[in-house]
Amino acid sequence: MRVLKFAILGLLEQDKMTGYDIAAAFKGALGQFWSAKHSQIYPELKKLVVEELIAFETVIQGEKLEKKLYSLTAKGTAELMDWIQRVEAVNVSNKDEFMLKTYFIAAMDKQEAQQLFSNQLNSRQRKLEKLEQILTELEAEQKAPIHFSSPEFGHYLVLTRAIEREKGYIQWLERSLALME
């Protein structure tokens, strides 16, 4: 399944965007849980145009710079809604380089293992701090408490899940380090 396709359709459901805007979204809030590079985004945009799920208009910026401003078509909206409402099996990511290193921990001496886990703990703590800062800013931007009809409700849900994930990872790292003592 082309999940990037649905990420782009979802972004365009929110607003018209250029390819640059879409790439920037993957560096922002969306990048907290999904990633895509320019080299993936632009070919996908071409496919979506051919499939008539999105359309574009050429706009002029400045004196000569032409940009494509993409928007969702009715067919694209229908496909996005089908995907959103589809019940999927639980998807567990199978690629975690740190877990792979952990699996082979017997190849390390105790100090190397403790250093590996300490480094990961520090990284996860910094990530948690950043996520909590983003949540604080998101809540401060809202004029009322965040609820289902808030435009940022989806971002809020994903962000609070990411915070809980990092807290759990940090607890596991701390318990693991204690076992290494």
Closest CA to 10 of 81, 104, 74: 81
* 18-46: pLDDT as tens digits: 999 999 998 887 777 788 898 999 999 99
Question: Do residues 57 and 48 lie in contact, with contact meaning Cβ atoms separated by under 8 Å?
Answer: no
> What are the CA-CA distances from residue 43 to residues 36, 51, 65, 86, 96 (Å)?
12, 12, 21, 25, 27
* Sign of the alpha-carbon torsion through 139, 142, 143, 144: negative
Closest CA to 54 of 21, 9, 84: 9
> What are the CA-CA distances from residue 133 to residues 50, 54, 100, 123, 160 (Å)?
40, 34, 30, 15, 11
pTM, 2 dp: 0.70
Position 144 scores a pLDDT of 73
Please report, in angstroms and rounded to a whole number, the separation of the first and last CA atoms in the chain: 45
Averaged pLDDT of the chain: 89
Separation of alpha carbons 52 and 49, rounded Å? 5
Question: Which residue has better confidence, 77 or 141?
Answer: 77
* 81-132: pLDDT as tens digits: 998 888 776 666 666 778 878 888 888 899 999 999 999 999 999 999 999 9
Question: Which residue has better confidence, 148 or 166?
Answer: 166
Position 68 scores a pLDDT of 92
Separation of alpha carbons 137 and 149, rounded Å? 19
Give the mean pLDDT of 126-147: 87
Question: Which residue has better confidence, 2 or 179?
Answer: 179
